Amino acid sequence: MSNDEKANPMELINFSTNQRVYDGMIDCNKLPSSCLLCSEGKLEEFGHILPKFVMRWLKRASKKNEFYLNNTKQKVPDTLALKILCKNCEDLFSKYEKSFTDQHFKKHYRKELPAAINDDIYFFALSIAWRIMASTPIMRGQEDGEKYYREFRDVVKSYLLKPDESAEIDVYTFRANEIVINLPEQHYKPNILNFSVVQNIFVRNLIYDKINCRATLFPIPLVYFKLGVYYFIVGYRNYLQNLTFPKKMEATEGGRVYILKYTYELMGFLNCISNWDFYEVDKSIIPLNIEYNKTRLPF
């Protein structure tokens, strides 16, 4: 072994992710050999599943350099990054990430007034939803669920490749300030509310006929993620509109993005799609007697 090799042992390790702690979560046999979006580009750099700017600004705002991983005692300085996109596709996503960062995320954490939510965040939200769905099957123990959201992932992918074409997909967004405005401070946890990130693929059969109790043949997927104070839900067109639990939402002018408002029932829904790990609010605020899979119309 040369002196250079002895001096730089870390350079000899072939990491499958950007952080050693994540390596054990990845099935290296399932790592792609070319870009998962365009199918042709070379994989040269690690790309973050949740955009890199998120952790950068959360560190700055919270004055912390590390965050707990998945409610464990393990701390990490960064979110997961994998080699799944070529440089051209990464650059395409970065353009939309910059817009969201400058108009919304950065302003919030600078205590400035963020821009009003509009359809400009649509591509941004779908790009993250796709990355979550594309990367999850590469993780150990997550392989079986892919069959339930593979079709939805491909619909999102098709839009990302041809954004001038319409897609039967809705984006729902919710800001944490709705919780702050509507709940006494003792009923929510400011640090988790302001500085946590979440990603999840939620699938469930929807019951659409109360009399016959008919249900969808296969579970219907949606993607749920939280970037600091911004929550996003991405699903098939009219997913939330057709669920029967009480809710308040406003459509943006283009009708592709919906802004969710605080309701007691929405806290229960966020808890449901978080796999019952919605730690941002006190459990007394979360309703336990509401079914969130009942829908008015067939899917």
Instruction: Please give the average per-residue pLDDT across 121-145, as a whole number.
Output: 94
Instruction: Please give the average per-residue pLDDT across 22-49, as a whole number.
Output: 95
Instruction: Please give the average per-residue pLDDT across 56-70, as a whole number.
Output: 94
73 pLDDT tier (thresholds 50, 70, 90): confident
Beta-carbon contacts of 278 under 8 Å, excluding residues fewer than 6 positions away, are 267, 270, 271, 286
Beta strands in 146-282 (DSSP E): 169-175, 197-204, 207-209, 214-215, 220-227, 230-236, 249-251, 257-260
Contact 37, 157 (CB under 8 A): yes
71 pLDDT tier (thresholds 50, 70, 90): confident
Residue of 284, 277, 294 whose CA lies nearest to 240 = 294
Position 10 pLDDT exceeds 80: no
Whole-number pLDDT of residue 146 = 93
Question: What is the per-residue pLDDT across 242-277, written as a single tens digit (0 to 9) for each?
Answer: 999 999 999 999 999 999 999 999 999 999 999 999
d(C-alpha 107, C-alpha 268), whole Å? 29
| pTM, rounded to two decimals | 0.93
Instruction: Please give the average per-residue pLDDT across 64-87, as a whole number.
Output: 93
Mean pLDDT, rounded, of the chain: 92
Top-confidence residue, 299 or 111? 111
144 pLDDT tier (thresholds 50, 70, 90): confident
